[in-house]
Structure 1
Amino acid sequence: MKVNLRAGSRVALVLLAFCSSLAARDLNQDEALALRQQGVILPLEDLLHQAMGRYPGSRLLEAELEKKHGRYAYEVELVTTEGVVREIKLDASTGVLIKDEED
């Protein structure tokens, strides 16, 4: 039985490209600013206020804007007054809570 490795390689590359397109992509600050100016996403300050309000007195560790499955989300990492690190994910266009879990 003879196998055409070239065809198999092409299929693998297509699958890899497809799967990569489904993975989350972090956006840089210029992209975030452009999306904000276009009205596609809410101001980061509003979403940070919402996230931090869930845990009064918490400190911000990190905030990232990502795009996954065509949807923009802010992932906010914070540390609570008890020293627990939380990961909060908010829809960047609507502010709806997607996830709040201990990290």
Structure 2
Amino acid sequence: MEFLRSRIKFYKEKQTEKMRKENNRLTKELSDLNVSVWEARHIYEQIPFAMPDFVRAESCYKSLLHRTHLTKLIKVQEQQLTALREELERLQLRNFPNIADGL
């Protein structure tokens, strides 16, 4: 009977050690896979063409609207700048008349 108990204990210890090694191997493999998943996710997030078509189309549309808005803003600011330059020139002529005109 003692022999059976010692054999059972031996096999339990052997099985426990085997499971511990397997667990360590799987833990290492899991950490490697987590790194691989993180790298893949990071690459996927960095590549804009990896997005679905509707997301890409929406981002293109938003950038197009933004560009159009900026173009309109540039035109308005150019007109305002031209008007301000003309007003500055007119005020300079009024405040500092040409001396040759007075002679």
Q: TM-score under structure 2 normalisation?
A: 0.27
Please state which structure has a larger fraction of its residues in helix. 2
Q: Higher relative CO (CA 8 A, sep ≥ 6), structure 1 or 2?
A: 1
Please state which structure has a larger fraction of its residues in strand. 1
Q: TM-score under structure 1 normalisation?
A: 0.27
Larger radius of gyration between Structure 1 and Structure 2: 2
